Amino acid sequence: MLTPARVLLVEDTPTQAEIAKAMLRDFGHEIRHAENGTDGLALALEWQPDAILVDLLLPDFSGIELMRRLKAARVNAACIVLTAHGSVNIAVEAMREGATDFLLKPYAAARLRVTLDNALEKRALRQALDTARTALGRESFGGFIGASPAMQAVYRTLESVAGSKATVFITGESGTGKEVAAETLHQASPRRGRPFIVLNCAAIPRDLLESEIFGHVKGAFTGATENRPGAARAADGGTLFLDEIGEMPLEMQAKLLRFVQSGTVTPVGGTRAEAVDLRLVCATNRDILAEVQAGRFREDLYYRLYVVPVVLPPLRARGEDVLLIARHLLQHFARDEGKRFKQFDVAAEAAIRAHPWPGNVRQLQNVLRNAVVLHEGEVITRAMLPDLLLQGAPVMPGPPPPAPAQAASATAAIEPLAISEKRLILAALEHTGQDVPRAAALLDVNPSTIYRKLTTWKKEA
């Protein structure tokens, strides 16, 4: 016999039911019994059996109808039809409705055992095949698009860990989709439907970070005019995603460690600790272990957070994914911008495939949005793509982009400083494919300055 299985018997005649149950018990299976189709369907949905033995003639509706309803309800069990001599034709019809096999009544224990074992084995093989197909061939998962082996590994890890509460630590270059990974994890978890709270540690001034995460009570500091719950309490029952955790100041790391250890939050200025139930997901584009070795990240916190690592591959390591994503984005942007674009020409696809995309998917998004906005037609040609892409040259810090140069020129109109600042920052981001740390390096400011500005502009918009 195979391993013990869950077997649901749907049979209305007590004598027949007792005989089947006695045999199934002897085989070592777990058994449930329903005396009609309605109860059988309800039990199948609730209990999710591995196999169902269905009598063809039931008091409320036929076994064939039950098979149809099981199929419609996507009950993934091996169904075996029990039939008398006169109804073999109906049994064949049941096979067409998805029954794995049928048994002529009366049947001996050995016949039932062989039929059931075969059906269970067939089901196990089909499930293994489905899993293998899924693992090899998924072209998307959650918010991700990509069929490369590197992304299949990411999908598998996210899927495997989704059901647990274990902390997930996502690493990857800028633009690889760390927030997408966090949200995909949340959506695949039992916590979906509860809050998914994102906090960018680099975007928040260090003095406010504790309050942003743990909340504050009224009067805790100047400007704290009312009680505020903070991200941790807002995420209660759901997921808290701490992005750019490598930017978190050391003193804040100590407080985060206490929170991770105790599972309770104490708002700034408060005295009472409150328990919260959340799943923590962290991300950074830094080499977090190097940060630990350099003394910029607490080792004890590292071990608390680095439970399930997820490494997002750069776009250049994802093979043909770049084209899958580009085609998807083209459709999306064309729809969004009211354009007719449907596809790329061969040369454009070759250029996209050859480019190393240092800004990863975010850079690809910008390039394609730009091409869609600035051009017309049904096909994106090579000439519509930016020069840097055509040269196949990596985007490196080079001569200043046109916009800042114009802003700085003597002939440019005098404008408020805030507007010039915004123009320069956006130009630097455009130039680096939205890579905030590199844009910050070009502008000689801290990345947190750019994150803070972006947050402010978003709120203003």
Partner 1 sequence: MSALDPEVANQLAEDLPPDVFRTIISTFEQDLTRLAQDLARAAQAGDQDGYERAAHSLAGAAAAVGAVGLEREARIAMDHRQPESAATVLPRLLTEAKAALQALRALTY
150 burial level (CB within 10 Å; 0-12, 13-18, 19+): middle
Give me the least distance between CB of 319 and partner 1, in Å please.
58
Give CA–CA dist 211/11, Å, rounded.
62
Alpha-carbon distances of 20 from 24, 365, 393, rounded to whole Å: 6, 61, 72
Give me the least distance between CB of 17 and partner 1, in Å please.
8
Give me the least distance between CB of 18 and partner 1, in Å please.
5
Stretch that binds partner 1, among 104-112, 225-233, 374-382, 412-420 (CB under 8 A): 104-112
Give me the least distance between CB of 112 and partner 1, in Å please.
9
Q: 254 is written with which tokens?
A: 């100590």
**DSSP secondary structure letter of residue 237:** T
Stretch that binds partner 1, among 66-74, 107-115, 346-354, 450-458 (CB under 8 A): 107-115
- Residue 149 has phi, psi (to 5 degrees) of -55, -35
List 6, 68, 69, 105, residue binding partner 1 (CB under 8 A): 105
Closer to partner 1 at the Cβ: 105 or 156?
105
Torsion of CA 215, 221, 223, 227, to 10 degrees: 40
Closer to partner 1 at the Cβ: 11 or 435?
11
Closer to partner 1 at the Cβ: 26 or 207?
26
User: Alpha helices, DSSP H only, in 215-268?
Assistant: 230-234, 250-262
Give me the least distance between CB of 62 and partner 1, in Å please.
13
Please give the residues from 362 up to 421 whose contact with partner 1 meets the rule CB under 8 A.
none
Please give the residues from 419 up to 438 whose contact with partner 1 meets the rule CB under 8 A.
none
- Residue 403 has phi, psi (to 5 degrees) of -60, -50
Those residues with Cβ within 8 angstroms of residue 41's Cβ, 6 or more apart along the chain or in another chain = 66, 69, 70, 73
List 2, 39, 84, 334, residue binding partner 1 (CB under 8 A): 84
Three-class SS of residue 239?
Answer: strand
| Cβ contact 98:65 at 8 Å | no
114 binds partner 1 (CB under 8 A): no
28 binds partner 1 (CB under 8 A): no
β-partners of residue 80 are: 53, 101
Give me the least distance between CB of 22 and partner 1, in Å please.
5
| Cβ contact 62:40 at 8 Å | no
Q: What share of the chain is helix, strand, coil (3-state, %, to 5)?
A: 50, 15, 35
List 26, 287, 337, 378, residue binding partner 1 (CB under 8 A): 26
Closer to partner 1 at the Cβ: 32 or 298?
32
Give CA–CA dist 410/405, Å, rounded.
10
Those residues with Cβ within 8 angstroms of residue 344's Cβ, 6 or more apart along the chain or in another chain = 323, 326, 327, 330, 352, 379, 380, 381
109 binds partner 1 (CB under 8 A): yes
Closer to partner 1 at the Cβ: 19 or 135?
19
Give me the least distance between CB of 107 and partner 1, in Å please.
9
Helices (H) and strands (E) in the chain, counts: 20, 16
153 binds partner 1 (CB under 8 A): no
Cα 130 → chain centroid: 20
Q: 174 is written with which tokens?
A: 């800028």
117 binds partner 1 (CB under 8 A): no
Closer to partner 1 at the Cβ: 27 or 306?
27
135 binds partner 1 (CB under 8 A): no
List 72, 89, 108, 137, residue binding partner 1 (CB under 8 A): 108
7-35 per-residue burial string, b: 16 or more CB within 10 A, e: under 16: bbbbbbeeebbebbbebbeebebebbbbb
Give me the least distance between CB of 37 and partner 1, in Å please.
15
Give me the least distance between CB of 84 and partner 1, in Å please.
6
Closer to partner 1 at the Cβ: 106 or 205?
106
Please give the residues from 36 up to 75 whose contact with partner 1 meets the rule CB under 8 A.
57
12 binds partner 1 (CB under 8 A): yes
Closer to partner 1 at the Cβ: 10 or 213?
10
DSSP element (H, E) containing 347: helix 346-354
Give me the least distance between CB of 70 and partner 1, in Å please.
22
Closer to partner 1 at the Cβ: 26 or 299?
26
What one-character-per-residue DSSP string does 163-174 give?
TS---EEEE--T
List 2, 6, 19, 437, residue binding partner 1 (CB under 8 A): 19
List 5, 7, 9, 23, residue binding partner 1 (CB under 8 A): 23
Give me the least distance between CB of 6 and partner 1, in Å please.
21
Q: Which parts of this chain interact with partner 1 (CB under 8 A)?
A: 12-16, 18-19, 22-23, 26, 57, 84, 105-106, 108-110
